[in-house]
Amino acid sequence: MKLHFDVSACVRAKSKLSGCTKCMDICPDSIRFQDNLPTFKTATGVEAAACVGVCPTEAFALSDFSTTEFFFTFLESKVRLISPKINIPCISVLSVEHLISLALASEETITLDLSAYDEDSLLFDHLEETIEEANFVLSSFSDKRLETNLDSDAMERVEQSDEEAETIEPSRRSFLGNASLKGVIKQKKAFDEAVDADELQHFDIDSSVIAKIKDKQLPNKRKILFTTLKRAGIPDVFEVLPEEDVSFVSQKYVDESCTNCQICYRICPTGALSSNGKFSLIHFDAMLCVKCRLCHDACEPDAIHLQKGFEIREFFEPTQRTLATFSVKRCNECGNYFTYTGGEQTCPRCAVEEEEAMFLHENAKKMKSEE
């Protein structure tokens, strides 16, 4: 089972300004950065499984395993224990969103087996934090929660049927939009096996990758969360959770320093930030946000900020909010729309061209007078 990486889905491929280091932070022995992109040895496998779970845009995956398929096959099984000894390569491949969705979709309490992990390791701490966050979010609107198990002897009492290995039905794939990664994995398998296991893989951004980068894609784990939340029932009271305690979604606001440069909604990987045809406003959909912070990293005036609290209401009544509006007019020179802040009705590009033309004209006059 090997680690695979989709360059086009990585936020660091969308902008060199991205400060996302989640994959390297959780897998410091396996992941490093080269030319601003993650890189790892060809033989890297389950030891780097945690980067699959923490990646906000699902750029990482393990061969022969899909978290989306696991979600459905696990719920179909009678077993309510998630363990690397029976049904998953490593629990760390599951994100907070996956855990919340599994808890909501299961009628019985789900237990996560941590007995196989070293309690003094970075991975164990990460698993505990992930489970704790999932339970914290669940407690704000549901009585469901996840349990953990550290008793290795309990595993002897667990049996798993062969039926659990069956793949999900095509009808389930439809609502996720071809969620399985197996097609991609099979295409890359022949190449991966031909490369020496210790060779460091290098990922480039070519024309085909650039085309994919422009697409707005919502991760499958967010689609699953959408689906399970619809069945959870609307709570009587909507709580507000501290921003720092929720790692996978956010609410934002834009201050007056925003110049409407358009970079934030152009590079947003999911379309959480958007505008209209005239680029006269900035919209934000909290439930499309994966908290990758790319918009924050790329904003030159640092005008985008996180709200101090996340409103649980967004889970059940998602709202597209307008963060900023701008006065937009057509340029008298080129006819294109631009953000008008007063003075002559000329867009910045035409203004620069006019300044350059004036400079060249004055320079030509000066040279002629010196002849």
Each residue's pLDDT tens digit, 101-120: 999 999 999 999 999 999 99
Query: At residue 333, what is the residue type?
Result: E
**pLDDT tens digits, one per residue of 280-289:** 999 999 999 9
Which pLDDT score is estimated for 198?
A: 59
pLDDT at 165 over 80: no
Rounded CA gap, 71 and 271, in Å? Answer: 25
Helix/strand/coil for 304? strand
Give the model's confidence band at 202: pLDDT under 50 very low, under 70 low, under 90 confident, else very high: low
CB neighbours of residue 306 within 10 Å: 16
**pLDDT tens digits, one per residue of 7-63:** 999 999 999 999 999 999 999 999 999 999 999 999 999 999 999 999 999 999 999
At residue 369's C-alpha, the angle toward residues 366 and 371, to 5°, is: 115
pLDDT at 177 over 60: no
**pLDDT tens digits, one per residue of 126-153:** 999 999 999 999 999 999 999 999 876 6
At residue 207's C-alpha, the angle toward residues 7 and 348, to 5°, is: 100
Please answer whether residues 82 and 24 qualify as being in contact, where contact means their C-beta atoms are separated by less than 8 angstroms.
no
Q: Mean pLDDT score of the chain, rounded to an integer?
A: 86
pLDDT at 164 over 50: no
Angle between helices 220-230 and 67-76 (to 10 degrees): 30
Give the model's confidence band at 275: pLDDT under 50 very low, under 70 low, under 90 confident, else very high: very high
Counting residues of the chain whose pLDDT is more than 90, the rounded percentage is 66
Candidates 97, 319, 136; CA nearest to 227 is 97
Which pLDDT score is estimated for 206?
A: 67
Give the model's confidence band at 339: pLDDT under 50 very low, under 70 low, under 90 confident, else very high: confident
Q: Can you tell me which residue has the tokens 């994100």?
A: 95
Rounded CA gap, 321 and 82, in Å? Answer: 38
Stated pTM of the model: 0.82
| CA torsion angle 284 287 290 293 (round to 10) | 30
pLDDT, average across residues 357-361: 78
> Which alpha helices (DSSP H) does 294-347 contain, by range?
294-298, 313-316
List b or e across 75-88, with b for residues whose CB sees 16 or more CB atoms inside 10 angstroms. Answer: eebebbbbbbeebb
